[in-house]
Amino acid sequence: MPTIDALSERLTEYLDQQQIQQVRRAYFYAEQAHDGQRRKSGEAYVTHPLAAASILATMHLDHQSLMAAMLHDVIEDTEVTYEGVHSQFGESVADIVDGVSKLTHLEFESKAEAQASNFQKMVLAMAEDIRVILVKLADRLHNMRTLGAMRPDKQRRIAKETLDIYAPIAGRLGMRDLQVELEDLAFQAHYPMRAKYIRRAVVQARGQRKDIISSIQETIEQRLRQEGLKGTVSGREKHLYSIYSKMKSQNKSFAEIMDVFAFRVVTDSVDDCYRVLGAVHNLYKPVLNRFKDYIAIPKSNGYQSLHTDLFGAKNITIEVQIRTKEMDAVASQGVAEHSHYKVYGDSDNSDSAVGSYKRARKWVQGLLEMQQRAGNSMEFIESVKEDLFPDEVYVFTPKGRILELPAGSTAVDFAYAVHTDIGNSCVSCRIDRRLAPLSQRLENGQTVEIITTPSAQPNMAWLNFVMTGKARTAIRHFLKNQQRHESIDLGRRLLNQFLSKYGSNADEIDQAKLLELLDEAGFKSLDDLLEDIGMGNRQAYVVARRLRPESDEEAGDQHGSPLSIKGTEGMVLQYAKCCRPLPGDEIIGHISAGKGLVIHRTACRNIGHLRDDPGKCIYLEWFDGLKDEFVAELTCQVESHRGIIAELATVATSMGADLQEIDIEDHEGKLAKVHMELLVKDRIHLARVMKKIRVLKTVNKIIRP
């Protein structure tokens, strides 16, 4: 176990004596605060924060981060408060400690919700100071190293959370070394038998591969010497979780994955990287389409390197990564290589370190935006999981700006990545100057142009294909708000319809009665009550009776005058699929809890038993100026022959009806039944279409169900 003296000795490498003294003071403060507390393993509790600080010291983090690591559990587990830490160690340290501390004194429905809320709070703190997540990752790494003291079920839960959230975050911040250790420890805790068998197979294969690796390494080194190029060549070991993930995702055997030999070449400059690439391509034949230039276009976590696959002798596949020393340091430590204090404090920062930091900040800002729009902590954490994809596609805006998106992203993801308002108003897109569907998956190097209109709005169907958490959260946020506004509007119209019988309306309600009703129902405002009416959860005529003026007698007709349907009520108004009402039909509305108003034809058999119940049905009429299109269904009995479907479709479209669906349902000898779904303007438009189809010689009968 590390001691404070051993840590202090190590810190002399990069901190001054005064800063080391502050770290020691934080340790003794934590030791006193945790006095008497023990870990599950039986050790004094203070050994955990000391170990977390030691992990950060290996990354050369600043003294404030180390102090926060020492103190990260005092607010949660002891009597010490935020104000106490603030007065002793300053605002920066107190804010980091507060960001890392879990949410306490709150009741959650489940462990998952508690974890999601903790992470949500941490993101808010990360937006202020990126060091919050670095301290949290060090805390998690030491907990994973000492996980054996926990119960098996708790080990699996913590391991799963690590694989789902913390290891991918470490990867997203470019902290490769920490990510690999977290993944391997979590893999061994979650799948102990699988980890055991793979480790045994790796040890066995290592002995068989040793000579081949040495031979290839020596050959590459010899070629670099011949070309006069400096470079350190080393073989790369695949870690257990990486092998397991590839076996699972690529459906490959262990032998197939271990057949690939991986090497890394670390050199002095970017120019040397490309010269080394030329040398290894001269030495071994490159595999087509397996070269990636992450130096020119870095990964979203700041990672830079050249990747190439080569055909070696005896059918051996060789993977080679080529990078500079600075890139290698950033690849290992990521944002921790030059954390907040270094990026702005030093003048000797490398471009790759600053780039890594800026990308990390941009990602955290994106998380913050998602957090603000998410409906709850569980929805937010699901969005974050979707956003932690290891693979990206790189696409261009029309002006040549590069955007990084998760693999499988669509034009809608691209639109929201540019700006939320662009995503909300997009209607179509051009990919490489050609019109394409919004759901089309994007590929590397494509240029994407988004076409918008001010009147457009997100479609719920987009949630079926978007990949990024930002797009998913923004769409849900918009639809949720839209549904509320539409529910309030419909609720107001329904309430006004019944209040009109008493010579009143929603703006003239007796405030004392309204406050009494709101208090009884648990609502804060009239809008909440109207939303509940619009969603069909509360009967408008019952509310109207409660709020009617004292002087008015009970009205005779509980239905009131018909409500006018404009067709713009959106998500809280639906047209029944059983009877497909059209403008011109007599209609009635069925108030369905949670759905709002469902419109039927008055003659529809499904609505008959509810027709006289004012709590369930309301009489409606069509607004005169409707310009929408409506779905109508037709059933035709035809004499079956080749081309009958095309014939019917041609006639329907010639009458201005947009054909949505057409199919032959069944045959009786030469007769067949054809089902059609059309978009028409009203009942008269449908009648014209039916008249035109009826003229066809092969059509025996046509009806509207």
pLDDT (tens digit, 9 = 90+) per residue, 357-413? Answer: 676 666 666 766 766 666 666 666 666 666 665 567 778 888 878 787 888 899 999
pLDDT value of residue 345: 39
Q: Are 344 and 325 in contact (CB under 8 A)?
A: no
**pTM greater than 0.75 (yes/no):** no
pLDDT value of residue 104: 41
Spell out the CATH class of 630-703: alpha beta
- How sure is the predictor about 339, in pLDDT bands with cuts at 50, 70 and 90? very low
User: Per the structure block, which two tokens stand in for 449?
Assistant: 């142009």
Catalytic entry in 43, 77, 113, 227: 77
Residue that the structure tokens 């893999």 belong to = 187
Q: Are 427 and 456 in contact (CB under 8 A)?
A: yes
Residue-averaged pLDDT of the chain: 82
pLDDT value of residue 387: 60
pLDDT value of residue 183: 94
Given a cut of 80, whether residue 341 has pLDDT beyond it is no
Mean pLDDT of 266-275: 94
pLDDT value of residue 105: 41
Catalytic entry in 31, 43, 76, 629: 76
Residue that the structure tokens 């959230």 belong to = 165
Q: Are 260 and 212 in contact (CB under 8 A)?
A: no
Q: Which residue has the higher pLDDT, 347 or 619?
A: 619
Task: Give whole-number Cα distances, 45 to 40, 52, 328, 369, 610, in Å.
Answer: 9, 12, 35, 37, 67
**Three-state secondary-structure class, residue 198:** helix
CA 158 – CA 48 distance, rounded (Å)? 17
Q: Are 247 and 280 in contact (CB under 8 A)?
A: no
Given a cut of 60, whether residue 108 has pLDDT beyond it is no
Spell out the CATH class of 4-190: mainly alpha
User: Per the structure block, which two tokens stand in for 616?
Assistant: 């369930």
Q: Which residue has the higher pLDDT, 40 or 19?
A: 19
Q: Which residue has the higher pLDDT, 383 or 20?
A: 20
Task: Let me know if 677 is a catalytic residue.
Answer: no
User: Per the structure block, which two tokens stand in for 166?
Assistant: 């913390």
Name every residue whose Cβ is closer than 8 Å to that of residue 312 and which is 6 or more positions away in sequence.
216, 261, 284, 318
Q: 194-336 has which fold? A: Beta Polymerase; domain 2 (3.30.460)
User: Per the structure block, which two tokens stand in for 491?
Assistant: 């609720």
pLDDT value of residue 342: 44
Averaging pLDDT over each range in 196-205, 431-440, 548-557, 615-624, which range is the top one?
431-440
> Please, is 629 exposed, middle or buried when counting C-beta atoms within 10 Å of its C-beta (0-12, 13-18, 19+)?
middle
Task: Let me know if 449 is a catalytic residue.
Answer: no
Given a cut of 80, whether residue 618 has pLDDT beyond it is no
Alpha carbon dihedral 26, 27, 33, 39, in 10-degree steps, equals 140
Mean pLDDT of 554-576: 62
pLDDT value of residue 347: 38
pLDDT value of residue 169: 83
Domain boundaries, the chain: 4-190, 194-336, 360-473, 476-574+585-616, 630-703
**CATH number among 2.40.320.10, 3.30.2140.20, 3.10.20.30, 3.40.50.300, domain 360-473:** 3.10.20.30
pLDDT value of residue 382: 66
CA 457 – CA 123 distance, rounded (Å)? 29
Task: Give whole-number Cα distances, 699 to 233, 538, 672, in Å.
Answer: 79, 48, 10
Q: Which residue has the higher pLDDT, 112 or 629?
A: 629
pLDDT value of residue 567: 56
